[in-house]
């Protein structure tokens, strides 16, 4: 490591302007990157980590402006470079691997052409020489069959392949500094690990310095030499990676360390806490079951296993290459499991594994091709009319995206009240009391009732979605990636809330997720799915401590920061 | 793709059957007797009238009239006009004129509209953008015949840059002023469409990635903004070729152009069913074919679209 830093950011201030009013996004940020070093900026959404990165490469969106400080790159202050000045830097001096592989490739150009552009623009190669370089770059990024791949369009690539193409693009002109902005957060964990391993190897080999932007402290600690923690636009802590993980000083960093799922999932305390939750929940659920057995107007016999799924299969017919030919897609293949009252069964799998399709069939939103779903002893497919309505009340969903699952035109009050109104429960007064009670349960102030979803944060919205699901006092809640879109700290809070509610109300959860790391804090049984089939079904501790399948082991190994935990 | 194109072309058969039947019904329900109107105030014997009526099948019930027309159409015999000329000859004379006019208008509106729209989109909120927005709103709001007469008066009569009416000589130069008038409204729509699309695409993630590669601003706009922005504009242009041919009725009237609009207008006045139906059939064919071409153009513009 030479003494001369490659990048030095000094007292950087960035503001966004709306109606002539400055809204500061980054305040007095300082960081240093030496040649060949990997530095990670960690923070939650809105912390200013991406804004800092975009300021360095001169790509601040919209009204963003650098209002103070210096960005010294290779000995020169580039903070106030002209458009042309930045243009000369981009590509061959500073490269970028952007966040979302789905939107960062132009859908209308062949992948090879998009990489070739970078070579031509930076005067590295031209014509057929550039074509040959493109193939070498794609191979270097870990893609096989490169000649065919280069001629394909982005939509013919999977997410992981697209991210590899973006890496090839970012490194095409051999930059001295590569900014990797959450390069893998949109990908499945196993793919994430492959890509990061590959990026690590490549940048080591080329001696490229990397500025890694991430929200995951575990990932940062695993991949970076040096960590910079950002919180609300300021850098609150920075230091060697392991040092930060072991001795966090700032209270925010401490919270981050304690709630990062990749780290929390390893702690024995979370296993114990879960145990207590389950005991209480099972007891409450038992009392409810006893009532149900004799109650009227509900679906149920009060059985111990509230959901029993047997041989569930879903086959989609897709149009084939000829209009009269159809191809079969077996999205879910012979899946069987049961959910005990007051416990959580997690279904874990990567995208395309069929886990969400199972959830939709359990909820009765999709008709299975074969197999049955028993809800407390009754076949849900046989229920009609009133009894079907009753079933809908007893089983409620919470979906992934709290931005999309709340009607933006409905106030929070109306969103939560709507299910009560649909099922004609109580008078207007009673319903209002119920909504207040529900907001209280999910720890939201009742002053929020008259607000609209766009005025709420992501975590608050997901709380509202949970309150709405609980309005009808269901026995089962199906949580389809319910915490996946949230920042780590918020995620930890929501998981805690879900645990509390389960203990208090004796709820049973069907928890669908792609992230094995969060499973340990909430689930009792785990179903690992791959390509529509269940590859492993066991208790959560068995899966974590003694995984039976190589696929499960791969999922576990892919959780970032796993190896650091023994030391942390 | 070939299967898709074949299916689309097969779809035109019911469309043409339906539209001709509809036109037959409309002309049949039209008040007045077209045959008596031919002779005007001249005294004619009833037997002559009956003879002429039979000549044009007007003595048959209208469903039969329609079937007889279809029977002729299959053998490319579209009947005769009241002046005794073959309808196919009339259409063959008028159709190229209108096609020429409509294509000229299409080129004018596409080239100018896309250029102006792109500049406005790139400079969103600046002076050029605001000027374009106000101008296009004005053009859309004022009826086309007002522009037609005003421009005819200024450029044709007062300044004498163009001939005020076209008449028999349908040269490129003579058709230029009518083509501009015809293109005006669509030009305004294209400016707005392209502008919104360009401005939206400018903030797309892949455009930022393109900049991060070190591409110059010109390359970024040409390769990564413009092509992605053209898809809605192409849709509009395709649908517009048909609309331009229909809109030509007004423009052809103002500038006295012997096109299909004039032909149809006069045929409708006289109740000359064979001519009206033939013209409409051609219009329908043009509509169906251009929309097919547009859909195939999509697949070329956007590789994600594949037809099966």
SS (H, E, C) A175-237: CCEEEEECCCCCCCHHHHHHHHHHHHHHHHHHCCEEEEEECCHHHHHHHCCEEEEEECCEEEE
Give me B258's structure tokens.
């012997």
Residue A185 CA: distances (Å) to CA of A59, A504, B5, B202: 21, 34, 42, 24
Q: Which residues make Cβ contacts (< 8 Å) with residue A511, sequence separation at least 6? A: A344, A345, A346, A347, A479, A482, A519, A522, A523
Give residue-wise pLDDT tens across range A531-540.
Answer: 889 999 999 8
Check whether A134 has a pLDDT greater than 90. yes
A117 and A159 in a common domain: yes
A355 and A232 in a common domain: no
In a domain, A424, yes or no: no
Cα B79 versus chain centre, distance: 25
Among chain B residues, CA nearest to A59? B208
Instruction: Read off the pLDDT of each residue in A353-360 and give the average, rounded to a whole number.
Output: 90
Measure B26 CA to nearest chain A CA, in Å: 39
**End of a domain among A259, A283, A312?**
A259
Q: Among candidates A172, A168, A175, which has minimal Cα distance to A210? A: A175
In a domain, B1, yes or no: no
Among chain B residues, CA nearest to A104? B206
> Mind giving me the DSSP string for A301-327?
---SEEEEEEEEEEEEEEE-SSTT-EE
A144 and A281 in a common domain: no
Measure B215 CA to nearest chain A CA, in Å: 5
In a domain, A419, yes or no: no
Chain B residues in contact with A172 by the CB 8 A cut-off are 213
CATH number of the domain enclosing A228: 3.40.50.300
Q: Which domain covers residue A283, as residue numbers? A: 268-407+474-567
A68 and A176 in a common domain: yes
pLDDT of residue A55: 92
The three-point CA angle A343-A349-A353 to 5° equals 120
Burial of B300 (0-12, 13-18, 19+ CB in 10 A): exposed
Give residue-wise pLDDT tens across range B32-77.
Answer: 777 777 777 777 777 877 877 777 777 778 788 888 888 877 777 7
A299 and A344 in a common domain: yes
Residue A113 CA: distances (Å) to CA of A219, B223, B231: 32, 11, 21
Buried b (16+ CB within 10 A) or exposed e, B256-284: ebbbbbbbbbebbebbbbbbbbbbbbbbb
pLDDT of residue A536: 92
In a domain, A293, yes or no: yes
A64 and A15 Cβ atoms separated by less than 8 Å: yes
Give residue-wise pLDDT tens across range A401-446.
Answer: 777 888 889 999 999 999 999 888 888 899 999 999 999 888 888 8
Q: Which residues make Cβ contacts (< 8 Å) with residue B76, sequence separation at least 6? A: B88
Give residue-wise pLDDT tens across range A445-483.
Answer: 888 888 888 888 888 888 899 999 999 989 999 999 888
Contact B302 A107 (CB under 8 A): yes
Instruction: Read off the pLDDT of each residue in B135-154 and give the average, rounded to a whole number.
Output: 89
Measure B96 CA to nearest chain A CA, in Å: 36
Measure A555 CA to nearest chain B CA, in Å: 30
A121 and A168 in a common domain: yes
Contact B212 A109 (CB under 8 A): no
Q: Among candidates A450, A470, A467, which has minimal Cα distance to A459? A: A467
Contact B213 A59 (CB under 8 A): no
Contact B212 A170 (CB under 8 A): yes
Contact A108 B303 (CB under 8 A): yes
Contact B213 A98 (CB under 8 A): no
A206 and A82 in a common domain: yes
Give residue-wise pLDDT tens across range A168-186.
Answer: 999 888 899 999 998 887 7
Check whether B83 has a pLDDT greater than 80. no
Sheet of A65-73, strands arranged across: A21-33, A7-18, A65-73, A76-77
Among chain B residues, CA nearest to A179? B212
3-state secondary structure of A45: coil
Helix A428-441 and helix A412-422, axial crossing angle in degrees, nearest 10? 120
A316 and A247 in a common domain: no
Chain A residues in contact with B308 by the CB 8 A cut-off are 319-323
In a domain, B120, yes or no: yes
A376 and A247 in a common domain: no
DSSP 8-state code for residue A416: H
Chain B residues in contact with A98 by the CB 8 A cut-off are 205, 208-209, 212
Chain B residues in contact with A117 by the CB 8 A cut-off are 210, 213, 215, 219, 223
A98 and A77 in a common domain: yes
Contact A118 B213 (CB under 8 A): yes
pLDDT of residue B195: 94
Q: Among candidates A62, A53, A127, which has minimal Cα distance to A90? A: A53
DSSP 8-state code for residue A286: H
More confident residue, A348 or A520: A348
Q: Nearest by CB to A155, which of B203, B211, B304?
A: B304
Q: Which residues make Cβ contacts (< 8 Å) with residue A248, sequence separation at least 6? A: A237, A254, A256, A257
Q: What is the mean pLDDT of chain B?
A: 84
In a domain, B80, yes or no: no
Give me A297's structure tokens.
């107007």
Helix B172-202 and helix B127-141, axial crossing angle in degrees, nearest 10? 130
Contact B223 A117 (CB under 8 A): yes
Looking at A154-158, A255-259, B260-264, which range is the least confident one? A255-259
Check whether A297 has a pLDDT greater than 80. no
In a domain, A468, yes or no: no
Measure A10 CA to nearest chain B CA, in Å: 22
Contact B211 A90 (CB under 8 A): yes
Buried b (16+ CB within 10 A) or exposed e, B63-75: eebbeebeeebee
Give me B75's structure tokens.
């053998």
Measure A147 CA to nearest chain B CA, in Å: 18
More confident residue, B77 or A213: A213
Among chain A residues, CA nearest to B301? A108
Q: CA B14, B18, B20, B25: dihedral to nearest 10 degrees?
A: 160
Check whether A567 has a pLDDT greater than 60. no
Among chain A residues, CA nearest to B208? A59
Check whether B78 has a pLDDT greater than 80. no
pLDDT of residue A1: 47
Helix A127-140 and helix A111-121, axial crossing angle in degrees, nearest 10? 110
Check whether B167 has a pLDDT greater than 90. no
Give the pairing type, strands A305-319 and A326-340.
antiparallel
> Mind giving me the DSSP string for B204-225?
-HHHHHHHHTT--HHHIIIIII
Q: What is the ipTM of this complex?
A: 0.76
Residue of A64, A83, A97, A106 to mutate when probing chain B, most B C-beta within 10 A: A106
- Phi-psi category of B40—alpha, beta or left, where left has phi over 0 and alpha has psi -120 to 50? left
Give the pairing type, strands A234-240 and A226-231.
antiparallel
Contact A87 B214 (CB under 8 A): yes
Contact A173 B214 (CB under 8 A): yes
Give me B39's structure tokens.
């002779």
> Mind giving me the DSSP string for A464-525?
HHHHHHHTT--SEEEEESTTTTS-HHHHHHHHHHHHHHHHHHT-EEEEEES-HHHHTTT-SE
Measure A120 CA to nearest chain B CA, in Å: 9
Q: Nearest by CB to A106, which of B203, B224, B308?
A: B224
A102 and A110 Cβ atoms separated by less than 8 Å: no
Give me B128's structure tokens.
């050029």
Check whether B217 has a pLDDT greater than 50. yes
Q: In chain A, what percentage of residues exceed pLDDT 70?
A: 95
Strands (E), A320-410: 326-340, 344-348, 370-375, 378-379, 395-398
CA A567, CA A259: separation in Å to the nearest integer?
A: 17
CA A476, CA A122: separation in Å to the nearest integer?
A: 58
Q: Which domain covers residue B148, as residue numbers? A: 87-305
Q: Nearest by CB to A98, which of B205, B215, B217?
A: B205
Contact A106 B228 (CB under 8 A): yes
Contact B212 A62 (CB under 8 A): no
A287 and A518 Cβ atoms separated by less than 8 Å: no
Contact A62 B301 (CB under 8 A): no
* Look-up of token digits 């169906």: B288
In a domain, A445, yes or no: no
> Mind giving me the DSSP string for A131-154?
HHHHHHHHHHTT-SSHHHHHHS-G
Contact A57 B212 (CB under 8 A): yes
**End of a domain among A259, A287, A319?**
A259
How many domains does chain A fold into? Answer: 2
Work out the number of other CB atoms within 10 angstroms of the CB of residue A371.
Answer: 18
- Tell me the count of A-B CB pairs closer than 8 A: 92
Sheet of A326-340, strands arranged across: A326-340, A305-319, A370-375, A378-379
Contact A103 B204 (CB under 8 A): yes
Measure B284 CA to nearest chain A CA, in Å: 27
3-state secondary structure of A4: coil
Contact A107 B212 (CB under 8 A): no
Chain B residues in contact with A88 by the CB 8 A cut-off are 214
Measure A24 CA to nearest chain B CA, in Å: 21
Give the pairing type, strands A38-42 and A226-231.
parallel
In a domain, B218, yes or no: yes
In a domain, A289, yes or no: yes
pTM for the full predicted model: 0.77
3-state secondary structure of A420: helix
Contact A104 B206 (CB under 8 A): yes
Numbered residues of chain A with Cβ closer than 8 Å to any chain B Cβ? 57, 59, 61-62, 83, 87-92, 95-96, 98, 100, 103-109, 117-118, 121-122, 153, 155, 166, 169-170, 172-173, 319-323
CATH number of the domain enclosing B254: 1.10.3720.10
Residue of B4, B206, B211, B214 to mutate when probing chain A, most A C-beta within 10 A: B214
Measure A171 CA to nearest chain B CA, in Å: 9
Give residue-wise pLDDT tens across range B235-294.
Answer: 888 888 878 887 788 888 888 888 888 888 888 888 787 788 888 888 888 887 888 888
In a domain, A455, yes or no: no
Q: What is the mean pLDDT of chain A?
A: 86
**End of a domain among A259, A288, A308?**
A259
Q: Which residues make Cβ contacts (< 8 Å) with residue A99, sequence separation at least 6? A: A50, A181, A182, A183, A185, A186
Give me A128's structure tokens.
């057929």
In a domain, A459, yes or no: no
pLDDT of residue A268: 61
Q: Nearest by CB to B205, which of A57, A103, A109?
A: A103
Measure B179 CA to nearest chain A CA, in Å: 33
Among chain B residues, CA nearest to A155? B304
Instruction: Read off the pLDDT of each residue in A65-83 and give the average, rounded to a whole number.
Output: 89
A196 and A304 in a common domain: no
pLDDT of residue A217: 84
How many domains does chain B fold into? Answer: 1
3-state secondary structure of A444: coil
A89 and A232 in a common domain: yes
CA A125, CA A111: separation in Å to the nearest integer?
A: 17
Chain A residues in contact with B208 by the CB 8 A cut-off are 59, 61, 98, 104
DSSP 8-state code for residue A342: T
Contact B210 A103 (CB under 8 A): no
Contact A321 B308 (CB under 8 A): yes
């Amino acid at each position: 490591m030479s003494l001369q830093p490659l990048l030095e950011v000094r007292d950087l201030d960035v503001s966004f302007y709306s109606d002539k009013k400055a809204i500061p996004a980054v305040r007095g940020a300082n960081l240093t990157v030496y040649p060949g070093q990997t530095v990670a900026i960690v923070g939650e959404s809105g912390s200013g980590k991406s804004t800092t990165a975009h300021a360095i490469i001169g790509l601040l969106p919209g009204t963003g402006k650098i209002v103070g400080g210096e960005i010294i790159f290779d000995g020169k202050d580039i903070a106030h470079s002209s458009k042309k000045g930045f243009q000369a830097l981009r590509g061959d001096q500073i490269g970028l691997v952007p966040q979302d592989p789905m939107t960062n490739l132009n859908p209308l150009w062949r992948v090879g052409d998009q990489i070739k552009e970078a070579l031509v623009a930076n005067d590295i190669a031209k014509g057929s020489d550039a074509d040959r370089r493109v193939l070498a770059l794609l191979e270097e990024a870990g893609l096989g069959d490169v000649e065919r791949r280069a001629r394909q369009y982005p939509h013919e690539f999977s997410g992981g392949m697209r991210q590899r193409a973006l890496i090839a693009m970012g490194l095409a002109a051999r930059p001295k500094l590569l900014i990797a902005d959450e390069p893998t957060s949109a990908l499945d964990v196993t793919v994430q690990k492959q890509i990061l391993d590959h990026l690590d190897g490549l940048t080591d080999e080329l001696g490229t310095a990397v500025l890694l932007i991430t929200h995951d402290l575990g990932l940062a600690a695993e991949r970076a030499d040096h960590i910079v923690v950002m919180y609300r636009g300021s850098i609150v802590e920075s230091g060697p990676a392991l040092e930060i993980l072991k001795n966090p000083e700032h209270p925010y960093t401490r919270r981050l360390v304690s709630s990062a799922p990749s780290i929390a999932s390893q702690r024995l305390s979370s296993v114990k806490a879960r145990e207590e939750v389950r005991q209480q929940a099972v007891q409450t659920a038992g009392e409810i079951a006893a009532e149900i057995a004799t109650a009227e107007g509900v679906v149920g016999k009060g059985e111990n296993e509230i959901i029993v799924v047997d041989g569930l299969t879903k086959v989609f017919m897709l149009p084939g290459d000829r209009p009269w030919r159809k191809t079969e897609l077996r999205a879910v293949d012979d899946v069987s499991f049961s959910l005990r009252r007051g416990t959580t069964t997690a279904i874990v799998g990567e995208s395309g594994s069929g886990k969400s399709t199972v959830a939709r069939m359990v909820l009765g939103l999709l008709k299975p091709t074969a197999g049955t779903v028993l809800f407390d002893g009754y076949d849900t497919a046989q229920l009609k009319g009133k009894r079907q309505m009753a079933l809908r009340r007893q089983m409620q969903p919470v979906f992934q995206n709290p931005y999309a699952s709340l009607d933006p035109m409905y106030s929070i009050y109306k969103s939560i009240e709507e299910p009560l109104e649909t099922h004609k429960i109580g008078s207007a007064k009673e319903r209002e009391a119920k909504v207040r009670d529900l907001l209280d349960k999910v720890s939201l102030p009742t002053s929020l009732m008259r607000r609209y979803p766009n005025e709420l944060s992501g975590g608050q919205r997901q709380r509202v979605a949970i309150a709405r699901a609980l309005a009808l006092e269901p026995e089962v809640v199906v949580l389809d990636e319910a915490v996946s879109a949230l920042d780590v700290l918020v995620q930890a809070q929501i998981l805690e809330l879900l645990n509390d509610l389960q203990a208090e109300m004796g709820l049973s959860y069907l928890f669908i997720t792609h992230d094995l790391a969060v499973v340990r804090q909430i689930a009792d049984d785990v179903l690992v799915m791959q390509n529509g089939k269940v590859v492993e079904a066991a208790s959560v501790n068995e899966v974590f401590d003694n995984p039976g399948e190589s696929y499960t082991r791969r999922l576990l190994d892919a959780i970032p920061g796993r190896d650091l935990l023994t030391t942390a | 793709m070939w299967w898709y194109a074949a299916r689309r072309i097969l779809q035109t058969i019911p469309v043409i059957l339906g539209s001709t039947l509809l036109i037959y019904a409309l002309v049949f329900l039209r008040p007045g007797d077209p045959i008596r109107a031919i002779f005007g105030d001249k005294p004619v014997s009833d037997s002559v009238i009956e003879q002429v009526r039979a000549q044009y099948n007007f003595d048959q019930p209208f469903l039969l009239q329609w079937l007889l027309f279809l029977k002729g159409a299959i053998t490319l015999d579209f009947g005769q006009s009241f002046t005794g000329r073959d309808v196919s000859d009339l259409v063959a004379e008028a159709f190229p004129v209108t096609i020429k006019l409509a294509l000229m208008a299409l080129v004018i509106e596409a080239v100018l509209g896309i250029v102006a729209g792109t500049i406005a989109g790139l400079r969103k909120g600046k002076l050029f953008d605001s000027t374009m927005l106000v101008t296009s709103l004005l053009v859309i709001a004022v009826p086309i015949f007002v522009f037609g007469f005003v421009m005819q008066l200024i450029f044709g009569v007062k300044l004498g840059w163009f001939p005020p009416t076209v008449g028999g000589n349908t040269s490129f130069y003579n058709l230029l002023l009518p083509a501009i008038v015809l293109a005006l409204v669509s030009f305004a729509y294209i400016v707005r469409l392209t502008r919104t699309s360009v401005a939206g695409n400018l903030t797309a993630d892949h455009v930022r990635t393109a900049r991060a590669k070190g591409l110059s601003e010109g390359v970024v706009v040409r390769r990564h903004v413009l092509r992605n922005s053209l898809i809605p504009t192409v849709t509009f242009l395709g649908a517009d070729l048909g609309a331009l041919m229909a809109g030509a009725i007004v423009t052809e009237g103002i500038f006295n152009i012997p096109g299909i609009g004039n032909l149809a207008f006069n045929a409708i006045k006289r109740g000359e069913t064979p001519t009206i139906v033939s013209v409409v059939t051609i219009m329908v064919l043009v509509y169906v074919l251009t929309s097919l071409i547009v859909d195939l153009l999509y697949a070329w513009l956007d590789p994600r679209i594949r037809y099966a």
